[in-house]
Structure 1
Amino acid sequence: MKLNLAVFAYHLADYAPRLYDSEIHGLGVADVRFLDRQETFLSESVYIGMWDKLQALIKPPFYVVCIGRDETTDRWLEEHGVKALILDSEVELNEVFERLQDIFQHYNRLESELLEAVLCKEPLNVLLNICAKFFANPTFITDAALCLVATCDNFAHPETDRAWQETIESGRSSSELLLLMKRKKLTNLLNTSRKAEFVNVGENYSKIICANYFDQEVRIATFTVSEAYTPLSPLQAGLVDHVAKLLTAEVRKQHKASSRYLFAIRSNISNLLHGQKIDEAILKTNFAHIGWTDQEDYRLLKIPLTTAELADGTAGHNRKIYESIFPHYVSLDLNEVLILVIRCARDTEADKRRFAELKKHLKNENAACGVSKTFHDFDMLGEEYKLANAALEIGSWKYPKEALYFYEDMMLEHLFSEGSRIFNLRSLCHDSVLRIAEHDQQNNSSLLQTLKVYLLQEKSLLAASQELHIHRNTLVYRLGKIEQISGLDLNSPLIRLQGILSCLILEYLNGLEEKAPD
């Protein structure tokens, strides 16, 4: 296995080495040899010797480990085009040579083990276990959407690693860490770099080195080494590049398999959103490939990309953040709109936390999202999109600062809005409730609100009086007044239902009048 001077510098840190004109990327050194006065040197060997012997050479080797230096060393190295690792003169030559030999043997043994595992088509987590040995630190792979694909299990992340704990719980890269990277303007570099990048975002987070996999110009996955047990350094970037490259075939194989299924699912969703019918058996088969069945609940989210996101190029990054919040999703771009179909968690509290996180990010980006009701029939995706769109339109108009709008919260508004296009909504109201509304208007009273709360609280005097913030006796008095004006028989379930509907319609119409421009 080939190494480079940067890897040597990392392992010889106790000698306080200094690199001269040496790349941290690229591995071009195949072995180590003692320096002598031979006329030709092998281009892939590193030669170790004392500074006084090195400077006497007319045509020095390309790579050297130089022991000792003076004020002319740097100029001489530059003039002769030599890449060097410089150590103090007190260092013992044979000791350094033996350590370099041990470094080569260590990595040669690990590379052979990894190549054999690749040839035997071992699972990705087994390959990552071997990769972790190269760095004595955890290694893992995420896909282009930052979903966790595989991780090693021989070097576990410590429980104190907050970002990793979030990754394990959500199945995605830590949203907190991603947001911090965005603030430090690292995301574009990490998403596009063709070489391994060392990242240190702060003392509360593990240092990492990331190497991307590309399919032509599209990033499909990222190999990451995380500092947990052994210090991580930019000097290891070339080593990370090499180790990641050895996994390329397996990573691409997994990507192609998942991409094939996701392409079919995205095509199905797009067709459904455009009103086309798809055979139910085909839908079930395609979704089954990602473990989705009609025995679970789903939601559809509509997130229009903002003008600012499109203008400053952060749309792609924000999309990944939105996706990273939910562990199970399928995403689709539709005319500058992000569509997310998510599988709901069985733990409703987990979904509440995820939607709270989504809302926080939406507000930070001055964006908004409409959420459909829950559903289990994939054939209803087209209709659920309409409901998510209705939630977004009504919510943005009625509650412009909220950012996140669920259809169940906007359902009555939607029904009344659609119904008002066909007939006058007041015609649906019970005549006795209209009389109460007229009494309120003439006497500046609030009997209609009292009736609505009382009925919604299922005629509980205690619950209704608490919600209205009035004394129980006051509520009893108002109910008597309502009966006197309207004659409503509130013991009839049908009358109660008509009463609630009438109150809600009148509340909706009053809201329209208040929103109407002067």
Structure 2
Amino acid sequence: MIVIRQQSRFAYFIFKLQSYFTQLLIWQNELDRIVACHGTLTEMLDASTTVINNFMFVSDNSFNVIARTTTIEPPDDLHRRIIETGCLTPQMIEEKRQRLPEKITYIKPPSDITPHARLSRPLHVSHTYFGSLSMSCNATPLTDGLQDLFSILEKRIMPLCESLWRARMRLDMPHYFFFSKLLEHSSVTDEYVKNQMSMVGIDDNTEYKLIAMEVDGETETERAALAIRAASGINQGGVFCFPYQNMTLALCHTTPSDSKLSHVKTIQELRQRIYEPLGIVSGVSEVFAGITNLDLAYQQTKIALGLKNTIASEQFASEQEQPKGVYLFGDALMYYLVDPSDKDERFMRFCFSHTILQKIYEEDRENGTNCLALFWFYLYYGRNATAVAQRLHMHRNTVLYHIEKIQKRFDFDLSWRTARDRMMLDFKVFFLTMSHASIEKLFSDSHEGNPADER
């Protein structure tokens, strides 16, 4: 309430005061409308710029920037860096703002790192730290009135934070925003990725496989929760599970290994844990390296699911085991390649960047062996070990020994036609991308009769 003693005519002042209160009323009504329409945090911040006039952003409990004012640019180097990296700077992370009790405003006066005063409020959902609402006082100075406006905004933002928490965090996925950035192929810096991976607990050498389950976390909440609980035991617990768009994803991870993420193991686990008890169909990517390739792996799972009926028809026609609700990108790859539509160059490189052949080739170069040539001729001669033995001047049993050793090491079965098709395709890409001199040396007579690890 404001009480004014009128001693002379000052209609202009009263008009300005009425206009200001009307503006505040319109602003708060707009914030309420955004909440009622299940809007976004960004919409909430942008709607507040006409009243607060300062640059603002929201960070989550892993220091990711999950929303910012889009109508006001970052006012200084500190805030530009925050937006460019998508994460708070190390100096800001070390500040005590992250350890404040609920409903306490953090005030930081101008300093060496920014010429503007800063305000921050910790956001708690059910007494659990969700993130922070932060503001740079770059246009409107820090006053008691500005703090009041900031508190109004913070109260209106909380319902949206609670909605995000229920939809994303309740499924035990505290790093959802990190993975969603990668899935959307957002521009991120190496520093940001390194910091986030450190908090998630994975390093640069980690290998991955992505599984997309056809269950929507938004519309099928209970079923998605069951799927996530079941999928959390895949790969001996080395998996991150979270909803994304209309799917529920499981990102398996492991230290470099030839067999831990094999398709044989994945199919068995998905059938036992997901398809048979819950009736949920899954699409599976190839094994890959580099967490920033997550969007490409997601594209592989969508292609596999998009061609699931075609894959099932092929399996039925070839008299193989009936499909059990698990569809591999490797089985869909040939259909994808013969599709006349344009192909993305980055995606095509990714599909053939992490293959068994590449590992065997590198080991042959290091050890002076010819396992890759043996593998090629075994496929080329239709798994006729006698023909391979004659071609490479080896004993037939030696050929079978090394082929079995390769299959066991990488956990695949060449009796599966789809496995043979994929290996032949990988060989064709290998021949296409390698120089003639390298191929000639690899298959030269000087390597014949020199298999790796003779019995």
Fold-level similarity (TM above 0.5): no
Of structures 1 and 2, the larger Rg is shown by 1
Give the TM-score band, short-chain normalised. Answer: 0.3 to 0.5
Give the TM-score, by structure 1 length.
0.36
Give the TM-score, by structure 2 length.
0.40
